[in-house]
Each structure stands twice: as structure tokens, then as C-alpha cells.
Amino acid sequence: MNLILPCEKTFFSSLRPGDWLSLSGTLYGMRDAAHKRYVTLLQRGAPLPISLKNQWIYYVGPSPTKSGDVVGSCGPTTSIRMDPFTPALLEEGLAGMIGKGYRGEEVRKEIGRHGALYLITFGGCGAYLSRFIKKSEVIAFEDLGPESLFRFEVEHFPAMVCIDSRGIDFYGMKK
């Protein structure tokens, strides 16, 4: 199923864990250090580089871009490390997250409470996934190097629903 990003969270209600999606549109690349800095700014009431309302975060720190390429290797990192920061971002209106691996119980519930989505994609497949990225730029926190805040334009980026908008978890269902 195709999903154009960003979009209203109301579109998510028909999606279920295990559904494969093809994502096109804008994703923000943020991992550990960018999360920590964004949430610190948020808590201080300081100006934020971007609004995350209805937006999507891809947990990634790409490898350097070779000349002539759009982006370097660009696969997902382990999502659970972002869990301490996720409730604050969901409160800001974050619509979805893409990463790899399971989430903690609190985040699962918060995703359900906000009607958001958590998707997973192919871990370790940074070369393959880079081919779905059509544009890439660093838009903030440049001093963090590979952990900067990126904006990506993607076309038909593959990902699977792991936690749906009701908070039902693919991994939980398999236990």
C-alpha cells in the first residue's frame, strides 16, 4: 500500500501490524544525539529547527555521500534507544517513526494513545535502502556529523507496520 508523507494520522486507522507500505515524500533523519538535543530544546522552550507535527522520523545516521550519489548507506538503527525521547515527540504531533527492532511498553502505549505508527525496515540494508532516497540534506545540528538532523525525499521506500495506530505490536503478537 502506498502512503504519501506527511499526512493526517486519520489515514492510519486501516493499517495493521505486518502490512507492508511503500512510502513517498518527506522523512526526517534523526538518531540518538539529534533526539537528545531536540528534546532538550523542547523542554527549555527554545526555538526548534523543525516542527514535527504530522511528520515522520527515520532513525538513521547515513555514511558519507560519494560524489554523484544522493546519499551514502542509509539503513535503520536500533529504535529502542530513542524510547526515552519518543513520548515528548509524540506529544508534539509526530505521526510516525521508522527504525528496526522492538519498542518498550511505554512507547507502544503512547503510539496507540496518539494514533501514530511505528514501522520497521530492513536492518543492515543501507546500500539497498539508499536507492529509495531521492534527495538528502542536513538541515540542523550539523556539528553532530552522522547524527545531524537530515531531511530526505523518498520514493517507494519499503517498510512494515510494527506497531499500529491502536498500539498493537507485531512482535507482541508473535510472543
Partner 1 sequence: MKQYCAETIIEVVERLVGESHFSLEPQIQSLISTAALQEEDPFGRKVLNAIIENIAIASRDRIPMCQDTGMALIFFSLGINASIDFCGYSSLQALADEGVRRASSSSYLRRSVVSPRERKNTGDNTPAIVWIESVPGDTLEIRSMIKGFGSENTTRLFMLSPSSDESEIIHCIVETVKKAGSNPCPPIFLGIGIGGTSEKALLLSKEALFLTGESRACSTSLLETRILQQVNALGIGPGGLGGRYTCLDVRVKEFPTHIAGLPLAVSISCWAHRTAREVLS
User: Given the rule CB under 8 A, which residues bind partner 1?
Assistant: 18, 33, 60-66, 69, 72-75, 77-78, 80, 100-102, 120, 122-131, 145-146, 158, 160, 170-171, 174
The answer, yes or no, to whether the previous bond of 6 is cis (omega within 30 of 0) is yes
State in angstroms the smallest separation of the CB of 150 from partner 1: 12
Which amino acid type is present at position 138?
V
Name which of 74 and 95 has its Cβ closer to partner 1: 74
In the complex with partner 1, the residue whose CB is nearer, 84 or 123, is 123
Name which of 51 and 145 has its Cβ closer to partner 1.
145
Q: Which is nearer to partner 1, 48 or 127 (CB)?
A: 127
Report the amino acid identity of residue 27: L
- Around Cβ 63, how many Cβ atoms within 10 Å? 14
| Separation CA 160–CA 11 (nearest Å) | 16
- Closest approach of partner 1 to the CB of residue 129, in Å: 8
Three-state SS at 105:
helix
The C-alpha cell 496518539 sits at: 114
